[in-house]
Chain A
Amino acid sequence: MASSIRTQFEIPGKMKTWSLSLIGIGLVALVIGLATKGLSSDEHEQAHFWGTLMYNTIFWTMICNASMFFICATTLAMGGWEQTFRRVCEAISTMVPIFGSITFVVLLYVVLGNKHHIYHWLDSDAVANDSLLKGKSGFLNPKFFIIWTTLTLGFWSLLGWRMRQLGNEADEPMDAEQGASFIWRGTIRAALFIVWFALTVGSTVPWLWMMSIDAHWYSTMYSWYTFASSFVSGMSLIALWVIYLKNKGYLELTNQEHLQDLGKFMFAFSIFWTYLWFAQYMLIWYANIPEETVYFKHRVQGPYKGIFFLNLIINFVCPILILMKRSAKRNYTLMTFMAVLILFGHWIDFYQMVMGSVSKDHVTLGWLDFGILSLFVGMMIYFVGKSLASKPLVQKHHPFIKESVIHVV
């Protein structure tokens, strides 16, 4: 490999300024929100504040975790093409413990603070008089919620950390035997992560964190829907960082071929998301049972109508029409635009999933949402930048690195 490539990322001053000012704006919004809404005596205002924090923390934790899922899935599939920018995915996944602990604090406050305007099942009087909620109480109770949330976030962080630790070995030269052992241990660790990911993101966690806001309602599509939403945004986030680093003159070994494959992921999982969106919607529309349509009533016919269909346009119509062409997926400008659009679209998706149930009568989208968003974007830029600078940008001695360098779509 050429020795002239730049493997050490230096954080530009501009990036620091931008991320810190975004964090600053976010903190101001957080403090004002806490003062005017979070600590207000009006329970609707409180639900608005904590709901806004909830969907932002959950969204950002999940999309950063999707980055680790991407690493583990490609490792298990013996994929080599992503090696030249794998450190970028690793750096994004270092956000999981940070965003995860914020999620944990927010969810813990909501549950222990007995915010039953968000989680109806916290209201013990209501549960006692409600056969449906009573039936679900083995799953929907504070004890299980807290234990499962702790385990979820803990193992996401731990297994992800173990995967990254293993990745460090690829910075040193290794012989064939060490390489084989490296691949085998990677397979084991990735498999462990994927199993835990399936048990959490693939099933229980979206039910627990978000679906249980509509305590009576349930959908078997919900977890996969959430997974698709977070995975496609995760891929967009990776694409954005890759393009940013390319722009700064790093990642010389990553080129349009890799970008096109990232674009394919963004395209394919946008379609997958739409498939789940539609499968969930059509079955409920067709059966037309009040217990089920309650979820869509205020979204399709109520105040959330605009956001609900905007969501579909941003996350389905735009990707399918714009990202379909090969040349679009190889165009840095268009990919940047689409990645930002998809990230925004799925942020809006998470917004309507949570706030559409927390605040059924009023669309709350406003300064608080964008303020908290700016806090999370700022933190993401700041910490991912730091994490990128802490290690070489390319794992020079990874057994599959050559496969990635010569990768052609």
Chain B
Amino acid sequence: MAKKKFVVGCFDDEAVLFPAVKKVRTAGYKIHDVYTPFAVHGLDHALGIRETSLHTAGFIYGITGTTTALSGISWILAKDWPLNFGGKPHFALPAWIPITFELTVLFSAVGMVLTFCYLCQIAPFVKKHHFHPRATDDLFVMVIECTDKTNVDDLRSFLHSNGAVETDVQVAETGWWLGRYDKDEMPFETKQAVVA
């Protein structure tokens, strides 16, 4: 991954954040992401992020689980090693439904967790850059990606005029790298440059 230059604007109110997002997008800036302390309804829509395909993946995993269970059990109990259980037919579909259901849930649950980790690029020992530690506490942090043409000072004053309480400029790694937080520096120990 590459290092990129970002302008970070911090907001302390949801109600200020929404119009700011709208204005920043209308002005033509590219918003890298907005980090919030809690899930904000409608923010994804305001940011113009496309709907996640995680559920489609989940459906495919589920179908795979169903198929695995049904084909596995039917091959074992009806073809490979038929046994007589209480006089039931070898192909005893109702008895297999609970296991089929469980494998469906297992496949889709595990698959979706792994896919989610992949999409968000999170895993044990994987580190990502934190733009502002207070994004996990009480600040709504909007991160705007700079291009060659971006005038940083203009952008910062633009953010301030739209209600940002703090802004700063960071050059940060956009991807992930391996590391351990208990061995490396803690993100909340880093002093952030605060420009009022």
Contact = CB atoms under 8 A, between A and B. Distances in A.
B94 interface: yes
B59 A285 contact: no
Contact of B59 (A278, A324, A408): A324
A370 interface: no
B124 interface: no
Contacts of B42: 408
B3 interface: no
Contacts of B55: 326
Given A288-B86, A408-B41, A282 B59 contact: no
A281 interface: yes
A286 interface: yes
Nearest to B55: A326
Interface in A310-337: 324, 326
Contacts of A282: 94-95, 97-98
Given A324-B59, A408-B41, A281 B94 contact: yes
B86 A278 contact: no
A326 B51 CA distance: 10
A327 B62 CA distance: 19
Contacts of A281: 94
Interface in A259-286: 278, 281-282, 285-286
Interface residues of B, number: 12
A282 B92 CA distance: 11
A148 B140 CA distance: 59
B5 to A, nearest CB: 34
Interface residues of A, number: 9
Interface in B42-72: 42, 51, 55, 59
Contacts of A285: 94
A408 B87 CA distance: 54
Contacts of A408: 41-42
B167 to A, nearest CB: 29
Interface in B74-105: 86-88, 94-95, 97-98
Nearest to A281: B94
B138 to A, nearest CB: 22
- Residue of B55, B94, B95 contacting most chain A CB atoms (<10 Å): B94
Interface string B19-41: 00000000000000000000001
A286 B59 contact: no
A59 B30 CA distance: 56
A262 B37 CA distance: 29
A286 B94 contact: yes
Interface string A148-167: 00000000000000000000
A326 B59 CA distance: 13
Interface string A277-313: 0100110011010000000000000000000000000
Nearest to B42: A408
B97 A278 contact: yes
A278 B87 CA distance: 21
A281 B95 CA distance: 11
A285 B85 CA distance: 13
A286 B97 CA distance: 12
Contacts of B98: 282
Contacts of A288: 86-87
B95 A286 contact: yes
A291 B55 CA distance: 44
Contacts of A324: 59
Contacts of B87: 288
A326 B58 CA distance: 14
B85 to A, nearest CB: 9
B74 to A, nearest CB: 17
Contacts of A326: 51, 55
Given A278-B97, A286-B94, A326-B55, 13 more contacts: A278-B94, A281-B94, A282-B94, A282-B95, A282-B97, A282-B98, A286-B88, A286-B95, A288-B86, A324-B59, A326-B51, A408-B41, A408-B42
13 contacts: A281-B94, A282-B94, A282-B95, A282-B97, A282-B98, A285-B94, A286-B86, A286-B95, A288-B87, A324-B59, A326-B51, A326-B55, A408-B42
